[in-house]
Amino acid sequence: MTIKLYCFGESGNAYKAALTLALSDTEWEPVYVDFFNGETRSPDFRKINVMGEVPVMIDGDLVLTQSGVMQDYISSKSGKLGGRSADARREVLRWMFFDNHKVSGVAGPLRFNMNFLPEAKRNADVNAFLSMRLASALKVMETHLTGRQWLAGEDITIADLACCGYLYYPEPFTFDRKDYPNIDAWLDRIAAQPGWKAPYDLMPGSPADRA
């Protein structure tokens, strides 16, 4: 049965799940969610996900929310992109939790505030704080990737696909790949994987559609 991923192109968290599906060679199809016109707040969508968030993944009778849970499920089901031992799995989880709290958890609001929030509502002080937090987290990744190909072992894992979730987007959010040469090379390695596509090519919906 084909997995359905409720998503939209601008969502970095949806991209993590979509990219994991694509790189694990899992059969799936996107279901477009019109986030910017309030679909995630509608009663019908809340029946699917009471949290009112994208992504949502449906595999038969199984409904999953939260991108990290989806990534873990896809990895377990496909036998790909995961740690090969208990220690390796914990290392994968360590970087996924780091991403949630330090990378995507900061990059997501910063990118939204700088690009999708009405200009009159953008707060320069908030964005400066978020930018500082993001730069600190990226420096940790940059240092960790010195002499390493991947974040959590000898092979690409869902840890890499979590931490890269926002870093391929073209909108400005104070991240410049040239400032982080190890991250830049790591992003190139991920992009060289069979099945990789940029966010707006992998999922429906983009800022151009609303222009």
- Residue 120 has phi, psi (to 5 degrees) of -65, -20
Domain count along the chain: 2
Q: Are residues 104 and 163 in the same domain?
A: yes
pLDDT value of residue 100:
98
When pLDDT is averaged across residues 142-148 and rounded to a whole number, the result is: 98
- pLDDT of the residue at 150: 98
Q: What would the mean pLDDT of 25-32 be, rounded to a whole number?
A: 98
- Tell me, yes or no, whether 117 and 200 share the same domain: no
Residues 149 and 110 in one domain: yes
Does position 211 have pLDDT exceeding 90, yes or no?
no
Q: Assess whether 165 and 90 both reside in one domain.
A: yes
Domain harbouring 110, CATH code: 1.20.1050.10
Residue 54 has pLDDT above 90, yes or no: yes
Q: Assess whether 184 and 110 both reside in one domain.
A: yes
My answer on whether 91 and 149 are in the same domain is yes
Q: What is the mean pLDDT of residues 187-194?
A: 98
Q: How far apart are CA 165 and CA 150, in angstroms?
A: 15
Tell me the mean pLDDT in the region 80-99.
95
Q: What is the mean pLDDT of the segment spanning 5-20?
A: 98
The pTM for the full model equals 0.97
Do 12 and 58 belong to one domain? Answer: yes
**What value does the mean pLDDT take over residues 92-98?**
98
Instruction: Confirm if 162 and 96 have CB atoms less than 8 A apart.
Output: yes
Q: Are residues 182 and 95 in the same domain?
A: yes
Query: Shortest CA distance to 33 belongs to which of 17, 76, 160, 107?
Result: 17
CATH of the domain at 65: 3.40.30.10
Q: Are residues 61 and 91 in the same domain?
A: no
Coil, strand or helix: which one is 159?
helix
* Domain ranges, residue 185: 86-191
pLDDT of 83 strictly over 90 = no
Are residues 152 and 129 part of one domain? yes
Q: Is 79 in a helix, a strand, or coil? A: coil
Q: Are residues 128 and 58 in the same domain?
A: no
The yes-or-no verdict on residue 84 having pLDDT over 90 is: no
Is 105 in the same domain as 174? yes
